[in-house]
Structure 1
Amino acid sequence: MAADSLIQAQTEGGLAGQQIDVGLQGDLDMRGNSSISARTTGTGKAAGISVTANSISLTDGASLTAPTDGPGKGGEVMVRANSVTIDGRDSTGATGIVSRSNAGATGSAGDITVNTTGQLVLEDGAVINASTYGLGSAGGVKVTAGSLVMKGNANGPVTFIGSDSGSSGQGGPAGIVAVNINDSAFISGNAEILSGTFGTGSGGKVTVSAGSLTIKSVVGEQVFTGISSASDPNSTGDAGSVAVAVKGQLALQDGGEISSSTFGAGSAGGVKVTAGSLVMIGNDNAPVTIIGSDSESGGQGGQAGTVTVDVGKSASISGNALITSDTFGTGKAGEVTVAANSLSMNGMNTSASCGINSDSLSSGQGGPAGTVTVNVDKSVSISGNALIRSDTYGTGKAGEIIVSAGSLAINFGETGFTGVSSQSAASAKGDAGSIAVAVDGQLALQDGGAISSSTFGVGSAGGVKVTAGSLVMNGNDNATSTFIGSDSLSGGQGGAAGTVTVNINRFVSISGNAQISSSTRGTGKAGEVAVTAKALSINSADTANFCGISSESDATAAGGDAGAVTVNVTGPILMENTAAIDSDTSGQGQAGVVKVSAGSLELRGKEIVGATRPDTGISSDSGLSATGNAGDVTVQVTGGISMFGDAYISSDTFGMGKAGQVIVVAKSLSMNGIYTDASCHISTESDNIGVGGDAGTVTVNIAGPILMESTAAIDSNTSGQGQAGQVRVSAGSLALRGNEIGSGTHISSDSSLFATGNAGDVNAHVTGGISMSGDASISSDTFGVGNAGQVTVAAQSLSMNSMNTSGLSIISSESLGGGPSGAAGTVSIRVADHIDMFKNAEISTDTFGGGKAGNVNVWAGSLSCTGDAGVSSEANLNSTGDAGDVNVIATGQISLSGHVNLGSQTFGSGKGGDVSLIGSKLVQIRGGASITAEASSSAPSDSGQIIVSGGNVQLNGGTINSEANGGSAGQVQVNSSGVLSLYQSQILAGSHQQNGGVIGITAPFLALNQSSVNANAYHTGGTIDIFHSELRRIDAQHRDRDVANGQSGQGRDFQSATDAERESGGLEPARLERRSLSSGPMRQEPGRGREQFHRFGPRRIAAGTRRLGDQLPGGAEG
């Protein structure tokens, strides 16, 4: 048909128009505004148009039209051809096939049907359109073709196939649009398949099917290209649903779109896409490439629809591309469901969005976002700022996120956020959504990849649940933290964070800047964190950032509580460098409890310069500015625990809050500080000088051996007002090996220099042996006004040897502060078998200030002390507290040799304590060893009493000495049920300024060789009472002396022997000589002492003597 030619059938009354039929064997070519038209202006139905030809071409404004201007229904338009081409190039009007109900009409427009077995081409503003601009309904559009090409022009009118309700007022509904393409469909440039409404009428449903479908927009132009149903601004009608089914590949590029949207009060429709494969490629210079349903009205907007994408094979989303359902107003966003065989998402580090999401984007009264569900049979890959997300910016809640896959890899890009996320923004009051990720195989997060639910406002974050076959998390200091967690990140009145649950069938590996955590920075609580796996490895890989598992309250003021952290691993846990499992608080909130269970546990610490935590371990802490308490820490291991370097299991407080208890249970425990400046420790501490809360109890229960080496420690300490906790250790065996670097190896509870709180009791119960070597200690000490605790040790055997180090192998309770310091505690040792003490080993309790030293009680099968070892209680120089008692009982032999001291001494103004040494068998004191009760100060301090008892008692170069300087000496009682022998030895009870003590000796056989028994004094000498059956001087060439003199006491000779000795004439008489303990002149006239020798017999013991057992601990008898 030539330009401007016309074929028309018009109906103006009530009669129906006649059908226009055009049937051609050849081609129909219409050009230049030529038209075939069937119009009605009356009540009658317009004539229909039917065109059949081999090929049909409409160009330059040519059209097939069926309008209605009145109440009559518009006519239907039917087109059949082998191919159809519609080209609107250079036209001033519409080029194409049109059915329309014009403005003012009440009649409906007619349907349009196009059926071509070959190619259908629409270009440059060409249209197939059934529309209404009045009250009548728009007609439906049905297109069937072998293939489809739609090409638009960004600078021209839209190329489209559609049905719309164009009235901005009381308009009728748009019709259904159905496009069925057997082979390929290609839509590009400003072209679309659509159904829309601008008024009260609803948009129609849009369905498209094709063998393959490509939708590509124009880079650099803000034009729509794609398939849609829309409810435009000012409309109240709903948009229609959109369904696209593609057998092969569906490709959307550079802003291509499949959507149903509402910009008004009407709701958007649902979008359903099925395809063999899906490729979505976005471009920052084009509109978003999108499959979605949106409610884009900023006010009282309608709801967005659900979005369902089902892909038989692979789905790929890259660049500025989204599968989404969003709301910008009060309407709800829809659910988004994506299913595929595999899924790849790569944001290409774009500044725009890439991924799958449902968001509530209103900053005010927003509707809730929808649930996002992604089900992938095989692999999911998310990288370069791509996201699966559901966020809220207003009152609406974010939606739940559910992801299931065969495997999942999340790899962060250069900026932004990559992974699975639900957020409640700073302006929001709505809650973030929960996240559930289930992966059959490996879940891998790298270089800042994250699975996160967080809140920045008053809304709460959601919980995060992750299940997988295995989990690998690898962080990078050059990226944000690799993260699985739930956070409350508002600094003020923030909502709560959610719980984080990670269940892994096989192994978990966390390395570098990576963490599983829940935290709060405001008043909201952090959530609980629970991790289960067969094996767990945490390695910071020298990062300066946190690496591990945690729940934290980071607010320094009115912060919420941190949550509990539970880690349950059936196999091994390995933590290296600066790895951590912890729950901490920095403010008013409480830290959570930490529970770790494992088949085995290995902690390897390493000092990292600049690290937030310089060591590796498991803890619950209350920070420096905190008033909240730290939580309990429980570690239960069915196998062994190994700790190396700067490694810890602890609960500490650095503020006003209390530290928690620490409980460790395992089959074996090995701790090695490997010569670091810090310590390898199991501890609880109150570390705020002067004002801190209490430290907690430490309980270590090991079925087998404990080995502690090189600055290893099990302790509970206080530096402030708070009390240190008790330390309880039980084991099959215990070995402590110290060195000269660091603070030594120790089990202790201490109250430090500026503390007012007490140290706690220390208890070590071992079914086997205890071995202590080098700088090793079991102790409870106080450096301040607080008291030290009691120390109790029980074992089968005990060996102590300082190994020539500058430190000591020591079991002690000490008051080490000068001035008004607290008291030391009692030290009690029970060993069923033998105690062996070598080279500077000590069992002691001391005081350096106003506090008393404690008592020392030792029970053993046998006792051997050599080489400067000792058992003692001392009140040191300038102290005012008393020394304590020292009591040693052995069922077997006691041997003291070398520079060994067993005694109670005071060097200050306090009193000395009593000393008892009870052995059922042989007691040996030799080679310079001594048993002493001394008061060395010039103050009137008395020395204590001494009782020594044994089967045979041997002194060979040994001393039993109760000696006072300013006070009186104490009583000395030596009892032997066999032979008491002295060689080059001394028994002394003397005083430099006051009275000597009483010396009582009871033995069937008494042998003295180059030895003396002295009770000398400046004032009155003491009494010496000897009860014997036989007294024998071993070497007649030497004089042995028993002296009880004052300053002017006179020596006298006497002879004492048994009946047997008289009969044999065997003994040479001993000589008693006057002796003074003072090397200088005496200034006072003293009294005289008393010497008495008694044979055994049924007679009363002389007054002033004691029987063995009068002063023994627990009423023991010899």
Structure 2
Amino acid sequence: MINARNGRIAFSGAGAAFSGVNPGAVGKGGNIILIAKSLSLDSLSGLSATTSGKTEQGHQADAGNIQLNIADSLSIRGGAQIRSDTYGEGNAGSIIIQADQARIVIDEIVFFNNVPITSGISTGVSKDPILGTGTGQAGKIQISARSLTLTNSAFISSSIFGDGSEAPEAGKITINAAQSLTLDSLASIRSTVEYGGVGRSGDIEINTKNLTLTNGSQILASVFRQVGSFPGGRGTGGSIQINASDSVTLSGVSSVKYPAGVINPFTSEPFQTEGFSTGLFANTERGAIGSAGSITVNTKVFRITDGAVVNSQTLNSGNGGNITINATVLELLNGGQILTLTRNSGNAGNITINVSDQVTVSGSDSGFFSRFSRFGRDVINNEGASSGLFANTDANSTGNGGSIFLRTTNLNITSGGLVSAQSLGTGKAGDITINARQNYNANDGQILAASAQTGGGNINIAARNIFLRGNSDITTNVFSGAGNGGNVTLSANAIVALNDSDILAFARDGQGGNITLNTRAFFGQNYRPAPPGTDPATLDGNNRVDINASGRISGIITLPDVSFLQNSLTEFSQTLVDTSTLLANSCIDRTRQANGTFFITGSGGLPERPGDAPVSAFPTGEV
């Protein structure tokens, strides 16, 4: 233990404090405890507590814990790290940083022999040809601070690399940042089952006032893909919970570039650093085995912009995780997305949105297509360029799509925004359920639960009023195969559709879905029923509103009875009224018949004070 409660402790130039259990040894490693006003680690320095020991006769060969009590500031820079790892049968130690009033900064990356060394904090079940392969559990990470900032590929990590014959678990990461938590430029907080690892990734819990992620930074709990000769991870992804009392902002994609010649030592290839979306991820990737974890966000204002995402997807036989958002305001702008997705046989998870005030989905990511052409599907996880909610299945997948549940006061989908639960594979599309206590407003916005081959999902929208403008479609089509179109049910006081906005539930070779409009007032601009057998491809761009449920067997379309409006209209008289006969030439006030008083005050002419005679703009006199 080092106690410098009112002073400063600094490690630099590869200086370190180390506690370890050697290979084959039995016994617990010692703890590292530092108490200081400020602590600085720089230039490849570090704190390390490891174990390569074995368990024997009930004696656990655990690594020691690392405990820091900091009053003012903690700085970890220049490739410096705080680590606790197990390479043996014992458990890794925990890392506990108590800095309630302090500012913590983790920053800077150095390149040693063309290999990047990033600054960070980690605990893990690891694998090394000399130290051995870990089978114990990773330690937990607990950090309390006033503010915490990670930049330039800095990390906080709990991971599993070992082969895990006893199914180890990555430790939980808990961060309490009273004012703010900020990640920038590929910084990350991660709990993962890495390539070659077996086990369960730990959970991540964030408690703060304001959370901000930019420039490709990520919070992730994932099971990773194969890398080089290393197989994909096997295990279950952890869950992510974000509690931010004021705001959460996710923005942009990575523009970080490492210098030429920098390589990944595991693949001998250059590091891929550009193009990654900023976001929250709970994925299980291609070549891995296991299900993804869930993501929950609780905040007031949640803003996702410029290609950033919240993503829980499966690229294997495991199921994708669920996403739950509880907020006052949710904004998905310029390609911001919330998505669950399956690209394989696992099922996509569900998306649940509970927003008390307003949800806005608008715009698209202008750089998406150029980024996709450069980096491909392995780097670009977004579902196209549009802002939106997506619970989709990919082409060539067999899993089912997820469902979307959205509850809010006002829902606005504009400028290419999209809510989608469609299936492009052989699995069934999910359902979309929307409850807007006030209005659903769409202007060039789409809601889709369509399917390429199997049954379309159902769409249920309930709102006080529904306004569809600017080619805003609601669609549950099935484009091929014998699957049935999904049902569409709209419930509102009034439903208004303009500018080629269509409601479609057709099925190419199956039965069209049913379309029901539960409303007393429906207006569709230039609306007229399409004849049976109409090709739905001809219904777009025809400058009218179409409602179509055609198929080999047509679905049932139920529209409101508006005859009460037609029957209550009275035809205008053909005889014009001569308005001059309605005007008197004078206003006579007879002297002996005091039936009341009439004053002409002119435009806005009122008495200056109560009791004053009003001033008339016209001459008056007795008759």
TM range (shorter): 0.7 to 0.9
- Distance apart, 1:701 and its partner CA: 1.5
Map 1:1095-1114 → 2, pairs under 5 A = none
Aligned to 2:269: none
Map 1:265-414 → 2, pairs under 5 A = 265=54, 266-283=61-78, 288-295=79-86, 297=87, 300-311=88-99, 312-319=101-108, 320-328=118-126, 329-346=134-151, 348=152, 350=153, 354-362=154-162, 365=165, 367-393=168-194, 394-413=197-216
Aligned to 1:465: 296
**Kept in 2: contact 1:684–1:717 (CA 8 A):** no
Map 1:53-64 → 2, pairs under 5 A = none
Aligned to 1:43: none
Map 1:904-923 → 2, pairs under 5 A = none
1:214 maps to which of 2, 6, 10: 10
Q: Distance in 1 between matches of 2:532 and 2:92?
A: 61
- Distance apart, 1:569 and its partner CA: 0.6
- Unaligned 5+ residue runs, structure 1? 1-177, 184-210, 218-223, 476-480, 606-615, 674-678, 725-738, 752-756, 768-794, 799-831, 837-1118
Give deviations 1:955-1008, integer Å, cap 9, x for gaps: xxxxxxxxxxxxxxxxxxxxxxxxxxxxxxxxxxxxxxxxxxxxxxxxxxxxxx
Aligned to 1:742: 542
The structure with the larger Rg is 1
Aligned to 1:482: 308
- Distance apart, 1:451 and its partner CA: 1.0
**Kept in 2: contact 1:325–1:334 (CA 8 A):** yes
Change (3 A) 1:586 1:714: farther
- Distance apart, 1:264 and its partner CA: 3.7
**Kept in 2: contact 1:695–1:718 (CA 8 A):** no
What amino acid maps onto 2:157 in structure 1? N
Matching of residue 694 in structure 1 with residue 518 in structure 2: no
- Give TM-score scaled by structure 1 length: 0.42
Map 1:52-91 → 2, pairs under 5 A = none
**Kept in 1: contact 2:518–2:560 (CA 8 A):** no
Change (3 A) 1:644 1:314: same
What amino acid maps onto 2:301 in structure 1? S
Give deviations 1:456-496, integer Å, cap 9, x for gaps: 12211001111101111112xxxxx4111211123xxx211
Q: Distance in 1 between matches of 2:106 and 2:188?
A: 10
Aligned to 2:378: none
Change (3 A) 1:719 1:244: farther
Give deviations 1:1043-1070, integer Å, cap 9, x for gaps: xxxxxxxxxxxxxxxxxxxxxxxxxxxx
Aligned to 2:474: 649
Map 1:379-778 → 2, pairs under 5 A = 379-393=180-194, 394-413=197-216, 418-426=217-225, 427-447=232-252, 448-456=277-285, 457-475=288-306, 481-490=307-316, 494-504=317-327, 506-533=328-355, 534-541=357-364, 543=366, 545-557=385-397, 559-570=398-409, 572-598=410-436, 599-605=438-444, 616-623=445-452, 626-627=453-454, 629-638=455-464, 640-656=465-481, 657-673=483-499, 679-686=500-507, 688=508, 692-703=509-520, 705-709=521-525, 742=542, 744-750=544-550, 757-767=552-562
- Distance apart, 1:750 and its partner CA: 4.1
Aligned to 2:48: 259
**Kept in 1: contact 2:77–2:119 (CA 8 A):** yes
Aligned to 1:806: none
State how many pairs are aligned: 491
- Distance apart, 1:362 and its partner CA: 2.3
Q: Distance in 1 between matches of 2:407 and 2:556?
A: 31
Q: Distance in 2 between matches of 1:214 and 1:709?
A: 73
Q: Distance in 2 between matches of 1:713 and 1:383?
A: 54
Q: Distance in 2 between matches of 1:333 and 1:327?
A: 5
- Distance apart, 1:718 and its partner CA: 6.1
Change (3 A) 1:741 1:258: closer
Give deviations 1:996-1041, integer Å, cap 9, x for gaps: xxxxxxxxxxxxxxxxxxxxxxxxxxxxxxxxxxxxxxxxxxxxxx
- Distance apart, 1:761 and its partner CA: 4.5
**Kept in 2: contact 1:698–1:716 (CA 8 A):** no
Change (3 A) 1:631 1:716: farther
Change (3 A) 1:216 1:385: same
Give deviations 1:34-69, integer Å, cap 9, x for gaps: xxxxxxxxxxxxxxxxxxxxxxxxxxxxxxxxxxxx
Give deviations 1:1066-1114, integer Å, cap 9, x for gaps: xxxxxxxxxxxxxxxxxxxxxxxxxxxxxxxxxxxxxxxxxxxxxxxxx
What amino acid maps onto 2:177 in structure 1? V
Map 1:1035-1054 → 2, pairs under 5 A = none
- Distance apart, 1:388 and its partner CA: 1.2
Between the two structures, name the one with larger relative contact order (CA 8 Å, sep ≥ 6). Answer: 2
Secondary structure of 1:796's aligned partner: helix
Secondary structure of 2:235's aligned partner: coil
Change (3 A) 1:680 1:745: closer
Change (3 A) 1:762 1:593: closer
Q: Distance in 2 between matches of 1:762 and 1:592?
A: 21
Map 1:749-828 → 2, pairs under 5 A = 749-750=549-550, 757-767=552-562, 795-798=563-566
What amino acid maps onto 1:275 in structure 2? I
**Kept in 2: contact 1:238–1:267 (CA 8 A):** yes
Q: Distance in 1 between matches of 2:400 and 2:344?
A: 10
- Distance apart, 1:618 and its partner CA: 1.4
Q: Distance in 1 between matches of 2:525 and 2:533?
A: 23
Q: Distance in 2 between matches of 1:182 and 1:405?
A: 26
Q: Distance in 1 between matches of 2:498 and 2:282?
A: 40
Change (3 A) 1:714 1:474: farther
**Kept in 1: contact 2:514–2:549 (CA 8 A):** no
**Kept in 1: contact 2:237–2:291 (CA 8 A):** yes
- Distance apart, 1:364 and its partner CA: 5.8
Give the aligned CA root-mean-square deviation in angstroms: 2.6
Q: Distance in 2 between matches of 1:451 and 1:313?
A: 26
Q: Distance in 2 between matches of 1:538 and 1:655?
A: 29
What amino acid maps onto 1:744 in structure 2? R
Secondary structure of 2:506's aligned partner: strand
- Distance apart, 1:398 and its partner CA: 0.2
Q: Distance in 1 between matches of 2:173 and 2:43?
A: 24
Give deviations 1:375-417, integer Å, cap 9, x for gaps: 111111111111111000322100011111101001024xxxx
- Distance apart, 1:279 and its partner CA: 3.4
- Give TM-score scaled by structure 2 length: 0.74
- Distance apart, 1:371 and its partner CA: 0.8
What amino acid maps onto 1:525 in structure 2? N
Q: Distance in 1 between matches of 2:348 and 2:487?
A: 21
Change (3 A) 1:758 1:459: closer
- Unaligned 5+ residue runs, structure 2? 55-60, 109-117, 127-133, 226-231, 253-276, 369-384, 572-623
What amino acid maps onto 1:258 in structure 2? L
Change (3 A) 1:486 1:761: closer
Q: Distance in 1 between matches of 2:531 and 2:171?
A: 51
